[in-house]
């Protein structure tokens, strides 16, 4: 019983760190299509959410513990894609959906769970999380269009990374394309790109990049943003970059800490 409570507590804390979902859609076993009742949940979500007050929506998919990892990652991604497609079909702005991530199966120990069937049904789900505009704080600019001064840190919620990855997502590239256009107009701005990581023990200074196997994840994230902007014709003498590891968590959840920031060095 104690083990069961500990496992439940772990998932509650993990969910809190990720931000509380404002809606959850539960799926039938081994399915990623929606029935009428499940479709209604998504439709009501669209009706009740005020899109003028949110920066973006993140969609995370999960499976129960049965089946192998490869199959469950694929199933969880299909569930996420089903929700995304329905949102867009119902008129939700595609540009607001910035993270689509199938997280695979939620691992449990069946012999320690009191109500195994109920627990598994709760794990066959998709969570929809809304990120409010400028969730980093009112005092922090969230656009290069703001009136900026030296030392300002610009945090952009649409630039994010998968766990253990420095690869730019499709949503991140779209955001960087917008930034590049603004930077071409504000051609006197100079800045430093700072990469960050989440979930790394304090004993380490940085996370491991899955692609390179090096403990330079935050540095690689900043470098990839630097290279992308360089390809967009932003002059090299306007930019520097560095990795900050896990030194500066925002306290708003892991998704916010897998990030890059832009620090203004000259206006």
List, in order of start, the domains of the chain with CATH numbers: 2-132 (3.30.1330.60), 153-266 (3.30.1330.60)
Euclidean distance between CA atoms 22 and 43, whole angstroms = 13
Euclidean distance between CA atoms 29 and 79, whole angstroms = 12
pLDDT tens digits along 72-103:
999 999 999 999 999 999 888 877 776 677 88
More confident residue, 252 or 74: 74
List C-alpha distances in Å: 233 to 81, 180, 219, 226, 236. Answer: 34, 8, 21, 11, 9
pLDDT tens digits along 10-53:
333 333 334 445 789 999 999 999 999 999 998 888 888 877 77
pLDDT tens digits along 181-235:
989 988 898 999 999 888 777 777 888 898 888 898 999 999 999 999 999 999 9
What's this model's pTM, rounded to 2 decimal places?
Answer: 0.51
> Is 200 within 8 Å of 207 (Cβ atoms)?
yes
Minimal CA–CA distance to 192: which of 251, 124, 266, 119?
Answer: 266
Per-residue pLDDT at 240 exceeds 90: yes
Locate 136 and state its tokens: 């980093």
């Amino acid at each position: 019983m104690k083990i069961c409570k500990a496992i439940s507590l772990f998932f509650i804390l993990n969910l809190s760190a990720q931000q509380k979902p404002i809606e959850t859609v539960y799926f039938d076993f081994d399915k990623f299509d929606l029935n009428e009742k499940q479709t209604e949940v998504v439709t009501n979500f669209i009706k009740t959410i005020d899109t003028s007050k949110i920066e973006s929506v993140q969609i995370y998919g999960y499976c129960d513990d049965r089946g192998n990892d490869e199959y469950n990652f694929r199933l969880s991604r299909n569930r996420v894609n089903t929700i995304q497609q329905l949102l867009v079909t119902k008129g939700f702005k595609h540009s607001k959906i910035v993270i689509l991530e199938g997280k695979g199966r939620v691992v449990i120990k069946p012999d320690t769970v009191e109500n195994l069937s109920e627990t598994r049904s709760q794990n066959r789900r998709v969570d929809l999380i809304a990120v409010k505009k400028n969730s980093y704080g009112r005092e922090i600019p969230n656009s290069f269009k703001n009136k900026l001064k030296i030392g300002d840190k610009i945090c952009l919620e649409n630039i994010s990374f998968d766990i253990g990855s420095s690869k730019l997502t499709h949503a991140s590239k779209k955001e960087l394309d917008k930034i590049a256009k603004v930077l071409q107009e504000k051609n006197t701005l100079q800045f430093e790109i700072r990469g960050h990581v989440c979930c790394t023990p304090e004993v380490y200074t940085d996370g491991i990049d899955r692609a390179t196997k090096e403990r330079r994840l935050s540095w690689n994230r900043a470098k990839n943003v630097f290279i992308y902007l360089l390809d967009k014709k932003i002059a090299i003498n306007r930019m520097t970059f560095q990795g900050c590891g896990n030194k500066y968590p925002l306290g708003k959840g892991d998704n916010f800490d897998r990030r890059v920031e832009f620090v203004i060095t000259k206006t």
